[in-house]
Structure 1
Amino acid sequence: MTPVIAETADIATCVALRRKVFIEEQGIAEADELDDLDGQAIHLLATIDTRPVGTARLLRKGATGKIGRVCVLAEARGTGLGAALIRAGIAHFAADPSCDTVYLSAQVPALGFYEKLGFTAEGPAYDDAGIPHRDMTLPLSR
């Protein structure tokens, strides 16, 4: 049961995972979760035995890569899959020499998770869809 993480064009599956975790589990409004950026993003899909269990969305703005919409289904949490998704996102941006920083907006309770992956929190907490978040960055070493 080794997870596989790969880029996918199957946005519908990624959105279905996000709907389950963010809208159904966390109570985030659909209007806050679903936006018009999916079509311009790279989507990572994590599967276990071909079953979709996690996703992340990658966007670029200038020299900064953004990892967002990271979610893992409840039954796959605690397995290291979330960290593997983040590492895959970092690797994607690190492969591009014009990208020098990776950014994400972390739910405050997850700050320690991202710090273990090398991210540093910056600035004050702010509300995003009713959940406190902080910006976090990771400079890419060259």
Structure 2
Amino acid sequence: MTWHDLHHSDLGVDDLYDVLALRNRVFVVEQDCCYQDIDGLDLVADTRHLLARASSGSALAQVRGGAGVQSVVGYARLLAPAAGEAGAPARIGRVIVSAEARGQALGRRLMERALASCATHWPDAGVELSAQAHLRAFYASLGFEPVSDVYDEDGIPHVDMRLTP
């Protein structure tokens, strides 16, 4: 597994294509959720993209264009705290593990790296996320607690969660 923690300005065309393809494959097709994934936040301010790529020789790798291509099998988008808002949190979103990579604790490693990246880039900010409600216990195991009631987002129950100190 190769990890990349990239500022949006360092995100290459192939990286962006692979990320959007994975998000489309899982969030839109697999979860049968018709929504506007490209929301204008991927390439703004200090947005960061955390990618996990399968080694090209592994069973998870999918060749997209020739030998040596590594497939994105895990991803999270990290949004910087809103500028000018005192106490604004960083936000982790679009957390995703490809179907082929599930069951290998990649989601936990992805979130641990996302939290470490937030601590590095925005050390004084809290961290929040909007979790699919069925993943509440998973996020709680990483130190998050619910701060909202369950609500519907694009037909899927969600809950807002905040990292507790």
User: Under a length normalisation based on structure 1, what TM-score does the superposition of the two structures give?
Assistant: 0.89
Partner residue, 2:2: 4
1:34 counterpart = 2:38 = yes
Q: Which runs of 4+ in 1 moved over 2 A?
A: 96-100
- Does the 8 Å contact 1:18/1:71 carry over to 2? yes
Name the Cα RMSD after superposition.
1.5
Farther-moved stretch of structure 1 (111-120 vs 5-14) = 5-14
- Does the 8 Å contact 1:11/1:43 carry over to 2? no
- Matched to 1:24, the amino acid is V
1:127 counterpart = 2:152 = yes
Among all aligned residue pairs of Structure 1 and Structure 2, give the percentage whose two residues are the same amino acid: 41
Given candidates 45, 48, 68, the residue that maps to 2:51 is 45
- Does the 8 Å contact 1:46/1:55 carry over to 2? yes
Tell me the SS of whatever aligns to 1:43.
strand
* Structure with the bigger percentage of helix: 1
User: Under a length normalisation based on structure 2, what TM-score does the superposition of the two structures give?
Assistant: 0.77
Aligned length: 137
* Structure with the bigger percentage of strand: 1
- Matched to 1:28, the amino acid is C
Greater relative contact order structure (CA < 8 Å, 6+ sep): 1
1:116 counterpart = 2:141 = yes
- Does the 8 Å contact 1:93/1:99 carry over to 2? no
Tell me the SS of whatever aligns to 1:6.
strand
User: Computing the radius of gyration over CA atoms, which structure comes out larger, 1 or 2?
Assistant: 2
Structure 2: segments with no counterpart, 5+ residues: 56-69, 83-87
